[in-house]
Structure 1
Amino acid sequence: MRSIWASLAGAALATVAVPAGAQDDPRIARSIALRDQWQWLTRDIAFPATWDGDGRHFHYRKTVAGGFAFVDVDATTLAKRPAFDAAAIARALAAARRQAVDPLRLPFDGFAFEDGRGAIRFAIDYAPWRCTLTDPVCAPLDEPHRRPRGFDVVRDLTVPALNPPRPAPGGGREALVIDDNLVVRGIGGGAEAWRSHDGSPGDFYDPETIAWSPDGKWIALYRVRPGYRRIVTRVVSSPKDRVQPELVQQLYPKPGDAIDQERPVVFDAATGRQVTVDTALFPDPWQLGPIAWRRDGRSFAFDYMRRGFQHAAVVAVDAATGATHAAVREDAVTFIHNERRFAHDVGGAGAELIWASERDGWRHLYLIDAKTGRVKRQITRGNWVVRDIARIDDDRRRIWFSASGTVPGEDPYHKHWFRVDFDGRNLTRLTEGDATHEARFSPDGTRFVTVHSRTDVPEVAELRDADHGRLIATLERGDVRALTAAGYRPPERFVAKGRDGTTDIHGLVVRPRDYDPAKRYAVIENIYAGPHDSFVPKGYWPFGAFSGGDKAMGMQQIADLGFIVVMIDGMGTANRSKAFHDVAWRNLADSGFPDRIAWMRALAAKDRAVDLSRVGIYGGSAGGQSTLNALLFHPELYKAGVAFAGCFDNRMDKVDWNEQWLGWPVNPSYLAASGVVHADKLRGKLLLVVGEQDSNVDPASTMQVVDALIRADKDFELLVIPNGEHAAGRSTGPVAYGQRREYDFFLRTLGGAR
């Protein structure tokens, strides 16, 4: 066995060494250049539309020669014009940011009109900006922000809470928190009427949750016992403005940590009398949703998810007595998908709820009696999935939503749009054609803009009637002639049976532009298997409205090196049946590999150019974890992998994502998926890439894998990007260093076409 010092030396060299010839390899240079060559060759609409608040106009972004432009449409006449003077906005932004701005490549993807269309608001790198349109002046907006929370469950108590006085309905009084206690006083800082006296730093009233009842008789808010303040500390080894390194700290709760404990409190606004709220219905809360008063002011409700993600409810509270009841509840043997929960209080009256549930094995809509919690009616049903709920009309008792898997013979991930009555009648499909559709509805709900496409069919943007789906106008048609002339060919859609021999598994195949069916090609899989969604693009490539353009382009760039590149949605991902999704429960090591392997074997049986003796894999974040696990648990197929910013041990990663799929408390399933625990199983070739300043996945997760691999005497390569964030190594900046290293790695370890 080699010494630990020899292994350390090898790993350190791999961190900085550039493989011989990689910088000068014309194949790599040609592939990296492809993005700039193809990026603006399509003519398409980038996303459905943004409607003005009055519904008289909508606007969208579309590609034009050399970049993109924003188009404004009069919803009545359908007349089109530029949404604003892009050249003038570019000049104003350049002056404000002190850097050049190209009017055809403005640094924002969307915007909203303000001040009667006299200004626009948008975000640059998540920071809010505003530009006036007459004599344009642009400036960042210094807006008050809610106190930060680590992954939304632990408040950062080093930052003051947002605590403006909250005026009572009808005026006269206001509420705020002083010294951790609720205070009611005269409007504008007048005489204090009363304050609570039981608040403390360890059990405080949260001013950001104050909610007056509509009649001003009651005040409800959350009282909070703070969770554990776990801090991740990173070393900035190479600061841009100094020589010496510095430290960065981040509030970063991890699985099993104590989180903030919220509980609702009600006060009589006139006297300050506190009403005790019964907490029996919401033990061990993961998080309580915003307090929502019912229309009559006699009760309020909030969403509740129990920690562990197996029980959810809408809890209603009687303001006068503090008595509680479950307006609706949901229980699961495995998990409830937290990000897909949906509840709508019909008319704000607390009598009925529209509720999304997978209780029959598919995500559907239910009408709930909110007084008893019982199901009055299942509104939608069938072996298909409700996806987006766009609009609910309480007066007409109608719902507009998207769903996938509704059309036999179509890709089950394609979305179509529907309307249905609360009683489940008059289900009407509003979109047509074998494609996936995105939509945005007008404020009055009478019309919608839809953009539809398929991986091999360019976008079409349409304005349609929302009652029957009648086509009002075709707004844009994608034009890909220039892209096609440049050599682009759409990917192949391929379907094969999964591990059970019956379930269809869907994926895509990307081939080199100079593909020769007489040759044999190594296969590289682009993997992301996070249970929170599905990931194989469904819209037109490579820069379509909802295609995942970077993902698509990266696959073509790798394919052009002489590989067949595939992407697959295996079991354990979302947007299919509950049983399909449940494969991921406490089973993240699975990553759908039995389905992926079966799919690739079916592809090889059909196409002799597919060489399964040389299979590689790459992915970032959860895809990085899956990449490593492919080499640990399936070395019979996977021979080489590039893992970017992987959450290799789920105990080291963020609290919310991991507890959602692996459960709480921390249990043996965390160890079963750990690349640290199983590092000694490594076979094949591995390149680890990590950004030193990754704020999404603790970069120590990668270094712990490095440590375990060294202790197991395993050879590997490591690339650390100083100052790099979560996307480090995958970004395509001017240098594209990580991209070049990845491409060289696959050429060295797998070879290309033979």
Structure 2
Amino acid sequence: ENVTQSELWVFTRGQKAVKQLNVRKWRDQSLQDVHWPMNGDKVRVVRRDRPQRAVDFIEVDIGTNAIKTLLADEIEGAALEPKNIAYLKKGGDFLWWSQKTGWGMFYVYGFDGGEKRPLTTGQWNANSIVKIDSTTQQVWVSGQGRETGEQLYQTHLYRVNADGTGFTLLDAGNAHHASTLGENGMPSVVSPTKRYIYDTFSRMDLAPKSVLRDGASGRILSTLEEMDLSKLKELGFKPAETFSVKAADGITELYGNMWKPFDFDSTRKYPIITYVYPGPQTEGMTTGFSVRGPLMQLAQLGFIVVEVGHRGGSPLRSLAYHRYGYGNMRDYALADKKYALEQLAARHAFIDLDKVGIFGHSGGGFMTAAAMLLPPYNEFFKVGWSESGNHDNNIYNQNWSEWNHGVKVIAKADSASGAVRAGGTGAARRGGPGANAAAREVVQDSTNADKITFDIRVPTNDELAGNLKGNLALATGDLDNNVHPGGTIRLVNALVKANKRFDLFIYPGEPHGYRGTGPYNQRMLMEYFGEHLLGDYYRGNGEIK
């Protein structure tokens, strides 16, 4: 109930006091992207309601506090994620990012509001504005999923005229072009003269290469640097193998990477372990080149180690994909993980599907424990290593939980009868399987902001403690500055009360990222999977060799 409140104050040079601007529309609203569009007479700000399903872009007159709404965006069954406003030139049209078509696209609006035209179109994700040339009215945009025959998370750079014409790919090639940054204080990959483009690209199975491209056509002019993997290969290094499988719906394409032991023998049977992270702010799947040390290291013990995506895991695809788990934060990814591993086992005789492990950190720790506790996944996954998990999202960050799970907006009880006045459940579902449960029950606006309240209850791992069947290890730092260690302690308490056997690691003085005990934790993780999936009980005493 007592959540952070956002206020807007202005200080005018020469005056002794600061003045608060009344921009309140919704209860517990947040403010972002505060900026001066021209001078100090008017300020612009994006305000967002607490459920994060509606936003207004407004202009406030400093002298009169008069508010002009330049645009409004709203969605049901999902959360909005507006990006900062970008102007084509000072005092000119601005760009607004929206998923109103189900895909993230940029739209051109007049300086005083009013949509003029789409800047980008299609079924792909326009991700960020890299650079704007206010003279030529050209815009450089990064995005994912537009190029056919490529993994959908590979990023590319495009140029387009402000009127939507002249759309041009500037870094062709089946790879992840990771350097497409630019506006908002980031170094630009487009040269000041716009004549050149700096591009570094790679894939999991393609070493990074940096090139200089022609700014007009994207043609490679010169190779600047290429990573030399020869020394790694002399040591036996082999990159992960890439693959794709279907989600549990049998339609949606998922992407993954597979690490094998360097001495891999196709005639053997190997236990399989999956590294997980549920997102939805980022998917636990690596796109560009990486040795992924902990995963590669674990594989050398005699495991097949994989990471693979799932519906609801990434904002770099469609809105439906990104918000699949809206209203079902705990369970949404598990069906896809199980089905992905089953498909891999059907393809590869060397995978032993009777010996399946799972591990992850933070959200991945939460997901790992859920997999070990929720039927039928607790039968499928035999061993889980769960680090710093937000096992009870009701005591985690309010903003993150409400943004990703969804919060109900309900009317306060009538003071006389105690009855709750509520409307319908809102528009058609846009998110995942639990989206309707989290949809608005009343419409909140400036007229009823003080007459509504919010309700959220995220399913926890604690309530599933009695279902534990396999071997589960829980780890947390006792000074975790992100996910409160109380989340792990609550699960420990529930497991004890359920009379379940489990393992617990508490790292004194450690925050969310294990700084000093990272290598120790990795060693314990490896031994845990070695014991329970390989039967290799290395631990004979307290000595670590």
TM-score by length of 2: 0.83
Tell me the CA shift for residue 463 of structure 1.
1.7
* Closer/same/farther in 2, CA of residues 376 and 331 from structure 1, 3 Å limit: same
Structure 2 SS opposite 1:695: coil
- Tell me how far apart the structure 1 counterparts of residues 242 and 327 of structure 2 sit (CA, whole Å): 30
- The match for 2:472 is 686
Q: Give CA-to-partner distance per residue, 1:75-131, whole Å, 9 cap, x none.
A: xxxxxxxxxxxxxxxxxxxxxxxxxxxxxxxxxxxxxxxxxxxxxxxxxxxxxxxxx
1:95-134 to structure 2, matched below 5 A, reads none
Matching of residue 365 in structure 1 with residue 151 in structure 2: no
- The match for 2:86 is 344
Structure 1 SS opposite 2:378: coil
Q: Which amino acid aligns with 2:260?
A: R
Q: Give CA-to-partner distance per residue, 1:660-702, whole Å, 9 cap, x none.
A: 1123469998655311222222221100011111111111111
- The match for 1:312 is 55
Contact 1:671 1:677 in 2 (8 A): no
Alignment partner for residue 307 of structure 2, among 567, 570, 581? Answer: 567
- Tell me how far apart the structure 1 counterparts of residues 362 and 516 of structure 2 sit (CA, whole Å): 11
Contact 1:303 1:313 in 2 (8 A): yes
Q: Which amino acid aligns with 1:710?
A: V
Tell me the CA shift for residue 272 of structure 1.
8.5
Q: Which amino acid aligns with 1:313?
A: D
1:25-424 to structure 2, matched below 5 A, reads 256-264=1-9, 279=23, 282-289=25-32, 291-295=34-38, 297-338=40-81, 341-349=83-91, 351-372=92-113, 374-424=114-164
- Tell me how far apart the structure 2 counterparts of residues 730 and 489 of structure 1 sit (CA, whole Å): 29
- Tell me how far apart the structure 2 counterparts of residues 346 and 426 of structure 1 sit (CA, whole Å): 16
Q: Which amino acid aligns with 2:6?
A: Q
- The match for 1:625 is 366
Tell me the CA shift for residue 388 of structure 1.
2.7
* Closer/same/farther in 2, CA of residues 435 and 722 from structure 1, 3 Å limit: same
- Tell me how far apart the structure 1 counterparts of residues 208 and 33 of structure 2 sit (CA, whole Å): 38
Matching of residue 744 in structure 1 with residue 516 in structure 2: no
Tell me the CA shift for residue 472 of structure 1.
3.0
- Tell me how far apart the structure 2 counterparts of residues 319 and 467 of structure 1 sit (CA, whole Å): 43
Contact 2:388 2:475 in 1 (8 A): yes
Matching of residue 706 in structure 1 with residue 451 in structure 2: no
Contact 1:414 1:538 in 2 (8 A): yes
Q: Which amino acid aligns with 1:587?
A: N
Tell me the CA shift for residue 415 of structure 1.
0.8
Tell me the CA shift for residue 590 of structure 1.
2.4
* Closer/same/farther in 2, CA of residues 271 and 726 from structure 1, 3 Å limit: closer
Q: Give CA-to-partner distance per residue, 1:165-218, whole Å, 9 cap, x none.
A: xxxxxxxxxxxxxxxxxxxxxxxxxxxxxxxxxxxxxxxxxxxxxxxxxxxxxx
Q: Give CA-to-partner distance per residue, 1:533-558, whole Å, 9 cap, x none.
A: 2231111231xxxxxxxxx1111111
Structure 1 SS opposite 2:369: helix
- Tell me how far apart the structure 2 counterparts of residues 270 and 695 of structure 1 sit (CA, whole Å): 41
- Tell me how far apart the structure 1 counterparts of residues 281 and 96 of structure 2 sit (CA, whole Å): 19
* Closer/same/farther in 2, CA of residues 319 and 399 from structure 1, 3 Å limit: same
- The match for 1:658 is 401
Tell me the CA shift for residue 383 of structure 1.
1.3
Q: Give CA-to-partner distance per residue, 1:701-723, whole Å, 9 cap, x none.
A: 11111111101111100011111
- The match for 1:456 is 205
Contact 1:455 1:491 in 2 (8 A): yes
* Closer/same/farther in 2, CA of residues 702 and 666 from structure 1, 3 Å limit: farther
Contact 1:285 1:305 in 2 (8 A): no
* Closer/same/farther in 2, CA of residues 314 and 445 from structure 1, 3 Å limit: farther
- Tell me how far apart the structure 2 counterparts of residues 324 and 608 of structure 1 sit (CA, whole Å): 66
Contact 2:79 2:404 in 1 (8 A): no
Q: Which amino acid aligns with 2:89?
A: G
- Tell me how far apart the structure 2 counterparts of residues 738 and 293 of structure 1 sit (CA, whole Å): 48
- Tell me how far apart the structure 2 counterparts of residues 365 and 277 of structure 1 sit (CA, whole Å): 29
TM-score by length of 1: 0.61
Contact 1:445 1:466 in 2 (8 A): yes
* Closer/same/farther in 2, CA of residues 321 and 346 from structure 1, 3 Å limit: farther
Contact 2:158 2:170 in 1 (8 A): yes
- Tell me how far apart the structure 1 counterparts of residues 129 and 16 of structure 2 sit (CA, whole Å): 40
- Tell me how far apart the structure 2 counterparts of residues 743 and 307 of structure 1 sit (CA, whole Å): 42
Tell me the CA shift for residue 442 of structure 1.
3.0
Structure 2 SS opposite 1:505: strand
Structure 1 SS opposite 2:390: coil
Contact 1:690 1:720 in 2 (8 A): yes
Contact 1:392 1:399 in 2 (8 A): yes
Tell me the CA shift for residue 577 of structure 1.
0.7
What is the total number of aligned residue pairs between the two structures? 481
Q: Which amino acid aligns with 1:447?
A: Y
Contact 1:262 1:285 in 2 (8 A): no
Contact 2:378 2:469 in 1 (8 A): yes
Moved more, 620-629 or 430-439: 430-439
- The match for 1:530 is 279
Structure 1 SS opposite 2:527: helix
Tell me the CA shift for residue 277 of structure 1.
5.2
- Tell me how far apart the structure 1 counterparts of residues 365 and 516 of structure 2 sit (CA, whole Å): 12
* Closer/same/farther in 2, CA of residues 609 and 400 from structure 1, 3 Å limit: same
- The match for 1:600 is 341
Moved more, 363-372 or 451-460: 363-372
Contact 2:462 2:494 in 1 (8 A): yes
Q: Which amino acid aligns with 2:525?
A: E
Question: Where in structure 1 are there 5+ consecutive unaligned residues?
Answer: 1-255, 543-551
* Closer/same/farther in 2, CA of residues 555 and 319 from structure 1, 3 Å limit: same
- Tell me how far apart the structure 1 counterparts of residues 2 and 530 of structure 2 sit (CA, whole Å): 43
- Tell me how far apart the structure 2 counterparts of residues 377 and 731 of structure 1 sit (CA, whole Å): 53
Structure 2 SS opposite 1:348: coil
* Closer/same/farther in 2, CA of residues 454 and 730 from structure 1, 3 Å limit: farther
Structure 2 SS opposite 1:303: strand
Contact 1:312 1:336 in 2 (8 A): no
Q: Which amino acid aligns with 1:493?
A: T
* Closer/same/farther in 2, CA of residues 737 and 278 from structure 1, 3 Å limit: closer
Structure 2 SS opposite 1:410: coil
* Closer/same/farther in 2, CA of residues 450 and 271 from structure 1, 3 Å limit: closer
Structure 1 SS opposite 2:212: strand
Contact 1:529 1:626 in 2 (8 A): yes
- Tell me how far apart the structure 2 counterparts of residues 752 and 312 of structure 1 sit (CA, whole Å): 55
RMSD (Å), alpha carbons: 2.5
- Tell me how far apart the structure 2 counterparts of residues 321 and 729 of structure 1 sit (CA, whole Å): 52
Contact 1:384 1:576 in 2 (8 A): yes
Question: Where in structure 2 are there 5+ consecutive unaligned residues?
Answer: 180-188, 411-436, 439-455, 537-545
Structure 2 SS opposite 1:705: helix
- Tell me how far apart the structure 2 counterparts of residues 717 and 630 of structure 1 sit (CA, whole Å): 16
* Closer/same/farther in 2, CA of residues 730 and 488 from structure 1, 3 Å limit: farther
Structure 2 SS opposite 1:740: helix
Q: Which amino acid aligns with 2:269?
A: R
- The match for 1:557 is 297
* Closer/same/farther in 2, CA of residues 377 and 729 from structure 1, 3 Å limit: same
Contact 2:478 2:511 in 1 (8 A): yes
Tell me the CA shift for residue 274 of structure 1.
9.6
- Tell me how far apart the structure 1 counterparts of residues 17 and 521 of structure 2 sit (CA, whole Å): 62
Q: Give CA-to-partner distance per residue, 1:592-616, whole Å, 9 cap, x none.
A: 2222222111111111111111111
Matching of residue 514 in structure 1 with residue 514 in structure 2: no
Structure 2 SS opposite 1:441: coil
Contact 2:326 2:404 in 1 (8 A): yes
Q: Give CA-to-partner distance per residue, 1:521-578, whole Å, 9 cap, x none.
A: 1110100111002231111231xxxxxxxxx111111111111111011000121111
Q: Give CA-to-partner distance per residue, 1:499-531, whole Å, 9 cap, x none.
A: 221111111111111111111111101001110
